[in-house]
Amino acid sequence: MKPLRVYIAGMYSADNVLDVLRNIGRGQKVAARLFEQGFAPFSPWWDRSFVLDNPEGQYTKQMFYAASLAWLEVSDAVLVISGAGDGGGVDAEIKRAWELGLSVFNSVTGLQLWRDVQKELTK
């Protein structure tokens, strides 16, 4: 079975740089954990590399959001790690996932159990 593609949804923005960095760190930590467990995660927090590596780039928040949604649309599942219910981008990502019929999880454990069921179904 090929690795399941998991879009990780969570808070990115904040009202101060320290909380933005914490959000990035949390997202990247989850992405690394999923990768180590054999998933193929997509982490929207990788966007920070575009800006850090190309500080003169003319990027907009909307460009990154559109690119992330394109990855969500080809994912097998979505893992929500924070930000659900605050009316922001995470809620929009969850809504889009539901429109696409994707499974949405609020824990790594739930995602792992779902993967195990998927493996059994493809035997």
What does the domain layout of the chain look like in residue ranges? 5-121
User: How long, in residues, is the chain?
Assistant: 123
Q: Where are the alpha helices (DSSP H) in the chain?
A: 17-36, 47-53, 61-72, 89-99, 108-121
Q: Is the pLDDT of residue 34 over 90?
A: yes
pLDDT at residue 84, rounded to an integer: 84
pLDDT at residue 100, rounded to an integer: 97
- Cα 29 to the center of its chain, rounded Å: 12
pLDDT average, residue stretch 21-25: 95
pLDDT average, residue stretch 69-83: 96
Which tokens hold the place of 7? 């879009």
pLDDT at residue 113, rounded to an integer: 95
According to the CATH classification, is domain 5-121 in 3.40.190.10?
A: no
pLDDT band at 107 (very low <50, low <70, confident <90, very high): very high
Q: Write the pLDDT tens digit of every residue in 63-75.
A: 999 999 999 999 9
pLDDT at residue 120, rounded to an integer: 87
C-alpha–C-alpha distance, residues 100 and 83, integer Å: 20
pLDDT at residue 85, rounded to an integer: 84
pLDDT average, residue stretch 31-42: 97
- Percent over 70 (pLDDT), the chain: 100
pLDDT at residue 121, rounded to an integer: 86
